[in-house]
Amino acid sequence: MTNLTLALDAMGGDFGPRITVPATLQALRLYPFLHVIMVGDRSQIEPLLSHLESDILSRIELVHTTEVVKMCDRPVHALRNCKQSSMRLAIELVRDKKAQACLSAGNTGALMAISKVLLKTLPGIDRPALVSCLPAVNHKPVYLLDLGANVSCCSETLFQFAVMGSVLCEAVDKNPAPKVALLNVGIEEIKGNDQVQQAGQLLQQSPQLNYAGFIEGDAIYSGNVDVIVCDGFVGNITLKTSEGIARLLVHQLKKGLTQGFFVRLLAKLIAPRINSVLNQMNPDHYNGASLIGLRGIVVKSHGSADESAYLQAISLAVTEAQRRLPKMIEERLESILLDINN
């Protein structure tokens, strides 16, 4: 396996190096070909690196900075003022080809803004999209984009998201013809707003994509399609609503199963089964959203990710770097656009 270098914003997220460093060490043990450049405050990171095996230590580089993009910083502010922030320096390492991908658990808006300016979008792509993989029936993954990087999108942008989502699914899941759908209020052609209807027409004219038409909210988790496209306003609310209702169900179930001695006892005996279902729905187990459409790889972790969730996000960055995702998207998009124009 060819060596691969990731740049990590070690300071991002709710817990900073306390989570990002141990998770990174796990990743280094898991992937012998992996090198990392940790960007952040030396005084917080170095104590977490003591007593390390020399093999692991030799694959870690540290770039020191004390500046951090705060969660409440506006994207424009972060872009203009946080020039020495751990987030920006990590993205610069990708821009300067010193790393093949970068990862941050920090402020999403700032990550999007800085990445877009430093890395630029691919030819044919107007705006990067935030995409993540959700659990569907039978553990079949489904990609949902955009998750909030673009609160409003024209039909052309939705079309580009569909192409990018399809290529991502091809690359990561080795799915030769991912089924792509547009999220809408009904499956009939007459349903929805102008953007969705026009995006549907564009997709129908693209024989290279496996377009499956409109899909409703209740079919997202059915496992019938592989990629679901919507604007960032809808996608963000859809994702968070799913997390909310899953949490409500878990809460109610736990409450129902802890009232009464007999019920509590029986529930305890089958707790592993119940927990395995609940864990499957836990957003942390699907951690790692990718900013795709850029000329470099940027992965976003949940700010509240724990060690294993952060490791998930690292693994996603590794997979995308191994597959050279931006190059794949660029080539497929070029070919699809040529096809439409002819």
User: What residues make contact with its own copies under the rule CB under 8 A?
Assistant: 72, 74, 135-137, 148, 151-152, 183-185, 188, 190, 192-193, 216-222, 230, 232-234, 236-249, 251-253, 256-257, 259, 263, 266-267, 269-270, 273-274, 276-277, 280-281
- Nearer of residues 243 and 334 to its own copies, judged by Cβ: 243
Residue written as token pair 């305890």 = 268
- Nearer of residues 31 and 143 to its own copies, judged by Cβ: 143
- Nearer of residues 277 and 340 to its own copies, judged by Cβ: 277
Nearest approach in angstroms of CB 24 to its own copies is 28
Nearest approach in angstroms of CB 212 to its own copies is 16
- Nearer of residues 35 and 77 to its own copies, judged by Cβ: 77
Nearest approach in angstroms of CB 150 to its own copies is 10
What secondary structure does DSSP assign to 152-178, as a single string?
S--HHHHHHHHHHHHHHHHHHH--SS-
What secondary structure does DSSP assign to 175-227, as a single string?
-SS-EEEEE-S-SSTT-S-HHHHHHHHHHHT-TTSEEEEEE-GGGGGGSS-SE
Distances (CA, A) of 203 to 77, 129, 166, 210, 251: 37, 18, 12, 9, 41
Are 277 and 305 within 8 A, CB to CB? no
Nearest approach in angstroms of CB 193 to its own copies is 5
14 DSSP assignment: S
Are 38 and 61 within 8 A, CB to CB? yes
Nearest approach in angstroms of CB 31 to its own copies is 30
- Nearer of residues 22 and 217 to its own copies, judged by Cβ: 217
Please state, in angstroms and rounded to a whole number, the distance separating the CA atoms of residues 162 and 228: 8
Distances (CA, A) of 170 to 2, 165, 174, 251, 275: 21, 9, 5, 36, 31
- Nearer of residues 104 and 206 to its own copies, judged by Cβ: 104
Nearest approach in angstroms of CB 305 to its own copies is 15
Which residues, including other chains, have CB under 8 Å from residue 147's CB and lie 6 or more apart?
129, 130, 131, 132, 232, 235, 236, 239, 289
Please state, in angstroms and rounded to a whole number, the distance separating the CA atoms of residues 211 and 159: 11
Please state, in angstroms and rounded to a whole number, the distance separating the CA atoms of residues 85 and 67: 4
Nearest approach in angstroms of CB 243 to its own copies is 5
Are 214 and 259 within 8 A, CB to CB? no
- Nearer of residues 24 and 150 to its own copies, judged by Cβ: 150
Nearest approach in angstroms of CB 218 to its own copies is 4
Which residues, including other chains, have CB under 8 Å from residue 33's CB and lie 6 or more apart?
1, 2, 3, 4
